[in-house]
Amino acid sequence: MSEDVQGVESGIGQHDAETVLPCGRAWRHFVSTGSAIGLLAFLCVGLAPEAMASDVQSKQWYLDAMRSDAMWKVSTGEGIKVAVVDSGVAVTPSLKGRVLAGKDATGLKGGALEDYKGHGTTMAELIVGSGRGGGLKGLAPGAEVISFRTSLGGVKGNKESDSAEAIRAAADSDAQIINMSFGDDLMYTAEADAVRYAASRGKLMFASVGNDAQKKNFIGYPAAYPGVTGISAADRSGKVAKYSEVGEYVDLAAPGLDIPQWCDATFRSYCDGGGGTSAATALASASAALIWSKHPNWTANQVLRVLIDTASRSWAKDEPSDYLGYGLVRPSWHLLKNKGNPGPPDIDPITNKKTPGAGSVASGSSKKKPSTPPSQPPKDAGDSKPAAAVKSSRSGEDDGGPMWIVAGSVAAAVVIGGAAFALVRKRRNA
C-alpha cells in the first residue's frame, strides 16, 4: 500500500512505521506489525530512577506536541475516572494515589491491582501517570484510573469472553470513560451486550482497532461495536501507522509510535520503540478526560463531539477516513482556543441518532442518580462462543508549532469489496 493512500503528513520529519511493535504487547492473539525486524529492534534497558526519568520522559514526544504544559493550566483531568479494562494495573510510583481497584474477571492469581503482563500498567501511566520514580507522565495526570482485569494475550482466565464481565463491572463503576486497549477478531454476544449496557449508562468507550493491517486486517472487537470509538495509531508526522488496521470502524487517531512502555510484568525497565493502537487508545481516553474535567456536566456524546470537531483533518468532517477516522485528536484546540461545539447531549455525534439512556452525564460525573439500574448479566453471559467472525477486505497547525495534528494530504478512500462490513456497525451517517 502506498504512503499517499495510507497516511496524512505534516511538516515534522518522517518516521518508519514498520519498526514499531510494543514490547510485551498484550493483545489476545498477540497481534503484530508483520515485521520480524520490528520485533528484534526493541531495546529494553534498566536504569536508575533518575536516569530512567530523564530517558523515558524525554521520549514522550507527544506531550510537547500536544501542548500538555499549557493544557494542564486549564485542565488536568481532575474529577474524572477512567476504567482501564486490561491485564491489570500495578501501583507503580508514577501511579501512586492515582489507581483504584475495580474487578478481576480472570480468576487468575492476584487481583485487579496486579498486572500479569505490564500492558495495563503502561496504559494507566499514559493516561494518569505522575512521572514520579522515573515513570511515564500521563496526559491527564489529575484523573484517576480504575483497574478491571481481563484475560489478554492467550492468558487462560475464567473464559475467553471474560472481558464482558469486566466491561459490565466498569459500566457499574463511577468511571466516566472506559479504555479498552485490546482486541479480538471474534465478536462475542456477552461482550456486545456488555458494551451496549455501558453505553446505556452514559459511558464514553474507546478501543484500539488493532495492529495487523499488513497481515490480515481483521475487524477488531470491541472497537467495531456500536457505541465504541475505534482508535488508530499515528506517528509524529501525522501519518497513520502501517500496521494500524483500517475500516469504517476507525473513528479517531492518536499518537501511537515511539512511545516507551513497560517491558514486562517485573516493572524493572521500560522498552523503546513501543506504542501501537493500544497506546493511541490510552491517549484518546486521556484527551477525553481533560475535556470532561473542564465540563463535568457534559455527556459522553458532547465530549466525543468536541473531540471530533477539533480533530485535525484535511478532508470533510462528514467523509471520515478509513485510516484516521475523523482525524487526529487535539484537545488543546478546545482547552486553549475554546473550539468545538458540544451540541445536544443525547445525540451520538457519529451516527447522529438519539442514544437511549445516555442523555444524562455518565454515572460518576453527576450528582444525579443514573436512571438505569445496576446490571444483571444475561443468562448467557457465561457463553464464550463467538457470535461472529468477520474479516474486512483491504484493497492544522497548533500554537506550539508544527505537529502531527496538522493534516496535509487527504487519505485516499479504500475500496471495500464484498459484504464484509455488512455485519459491522453502521456507525457513520454523513
Q: Which residue has the higher pLDDT, 189 or 22?
A: 189
Query: Is residue 209's pLDDT more than 90?
Result: yes
Over residues 53-57, mean pLDDT: 74
Q: What is the pLDDT of residues 84-106, one digit of tens each?
A: 999 999 999 999 999 999 999 99
Residue 426 has a pLDDT of: 35
Q: Which of 177-191, 234-248, 329-343, 390-404 is predicted with the least confidence, judged by mean pLDDT?
A: 390-404
Q: What is the share, in percent, of the chain residues with pLDDT greater than 70?
A: 69
Query: Is residue 82's pLDDT more than 90?
Result: yes
User: Beta-carbon neighbour count of residue 379 at 10 Å?
Assistant: 7
Residue 370 has a pLDDT of: 34
Query: Is residue 254's pLDDT more than 60?
Result: yes
Over residues 223-246, mean pLDDT: 94
Residue 393 has a pLDDT of: 27
Going by pLDDT thresholds of 50, 70 and 90, the confidence category of residue 159 is low
Three-class DSSP labels, the chain:
CCHHHHCCCCCCCCCCHHHCCCCCCCCCCCCCCCCHHHHHCCCEECCCHHHHHHHHHCCCHHHHHCCHHHHHCCCCCCCCEEEEEECCCCCCHHHCCCEEEEEECCCCCCCCCCCCCCHHHHHHHHHHCECHHHCCECCCCCCEEEEEECCCCCCCCCCCCCHHHHHHHHHHCCCCEEEECCCECEEEHHHHHHHHHHHHCCCEEEEECCCCCCCCCECCECCCCCCEEEEEEECCCCCECCCCCCCCCCCEEEECECCCEECCCCCCCEECCCEHHHHHHHHHHHHHHHHHHHCCCCCHHHHHHHHHHHCECCCCCCCCECCCECCECCCHHHHCCCCCCCCCCCECCCCCCECCCCCCCCCCCCCCCCCCCCCCCCCCCCCCCEEEECECCCCCCECCECCCCCCCCCCCCCCCCCCHHHHCCCCCCC
Residue 37 has a pLDDT of: 27
Q: Which of 159-168, 230-239, 375-384 is predicted with the least confidence, judged by mean pLDDT?
A: 375-384
Residue 156 has a pLDDT of: 66
Going by pLDDT thresholds of 50, 70 and 90, the confidence category of residue 185 is confident
- Say how far apart CA 398 and CA 407 lie, in whole Å: 11
Query: Is residue 26's pLDDT more than 60?
Result: no
Q: Which residue has the higher pLDDT, 22 or 290?
A: 290
User: Beta-carbon neighbour count of residue 378 at 10 Å?
Assistant: 15
Write down the residue that cell numbers 466498569 correspond to: 170
Strands 81-86 and 177-180: parallel
Residue 275 has a pLDDT of: 85
Q: What is the pLDDT of residues 355-400, one digit of tens each?
A: 876 554 555 554 333 333 333 333 333 344 444 333 332 222 333 3
Cross-strand partners of 230: 207
Query: Is residue 147's pLDDT more than 80?
Result: yes
Query: Is residue 228's pLDDT more than 90?
Result: yes
